[in-house]
């Protein structure tokens, strides 16, 4: 089952999730196993890996807890996962992300990103429709701290069969109450879990 968020200006539907009680794991998941867990959860393959959605969500929370503590003290937000979900049969490039609100005092209202597409050799590519080189996408909340990690999936932002990677250029997070936090340039890494590849250039 796939859950779709619209591009900028639209609302979206998300996985229902919460901070579940800690579970016991069988030791088969390697470091940063939750990156694999998020992929399995997103593609409906958890049953093939011997986990359910609650265990998967808890693994994401457990593994991300040290980063969440730092994020809460600094800016209250991070991506646990981000990248290219799919290039469909007509070349439509579909981004996805897992978003964590590490701020216990305010829900996230919007997360807005500027992204670009790259091919397999690290060159930027443009959309075959409209010749657009960069795109703006938006996650629409509210997303509270107690909601746990949430998956966002967007419909195609551009069209290019050679696209193999999506690169984040800027991220702006708006919390309920009006606080905004922006990430770009060298500061951009602070918006992502250390395991996330948010740059495409080789």
Question: ∠ CA(86), CA(92), CA(96), 5° rounding?
Answer: 40
Of 85, 78, 108, 102, the closest CA to residue 194 belongs to: 78
Predicted TM-score of the model (pTM): 0.67
Q: Which residue has the higher pLDDT, 113 or 67?
A: 113
Contact 141, 10 (CB under 8 A): no
Q: What is the pLDDT of residues 91-106, one digit of tens each?
A: 999 999 989 888 888 9
Q: Which residue has the higher pLDDT, 61 or 165?
A: 165
Domains recognised in the chain with CATH numbers: 33-191 (2.60.40)
């Amino acid at each position: 089952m796939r859950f779709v968020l619209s591009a900028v200006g639209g609302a979206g539907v998300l996985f229902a999730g919460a901070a579940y009680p800690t579970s016991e794991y069988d030791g088969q998941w390697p470091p940063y196993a939750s990156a694999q867990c998020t992929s399995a959860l997103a593609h409906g393959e958890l049953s093939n890996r011997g986990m359910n959605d609650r265990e998967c969500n808890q693994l994401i929370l457990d593994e991300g807890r040290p980063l969440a503590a730092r994020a809460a003290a600094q800016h209250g937000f991070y991506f646990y996962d981000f990248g290219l979900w799919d290039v469909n049969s007509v070349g439509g490039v579909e981004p996805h992300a897992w978003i964590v609100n590490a701020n216990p005092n305010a829900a996230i209202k919007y997360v807005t990103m500027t992204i670009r597409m790259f091919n397999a050799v690290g060159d930027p590519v443009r959309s075959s429709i409209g010749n657009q080189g960069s795109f703006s996408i938006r996650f629409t909340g509210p997303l509270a701290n107690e909601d746990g990690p949430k998956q966002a999936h967007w419909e195609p932002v551009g069209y290019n069969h050679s696209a193999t990677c999506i690169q984040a250029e800027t991220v702006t997070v708006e919390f309920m109450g009006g606080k905004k936090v922006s990430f770009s340039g060298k500061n951009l890494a602070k918006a992502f879990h250390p395991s996330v590849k948010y740059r495409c250039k080789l």
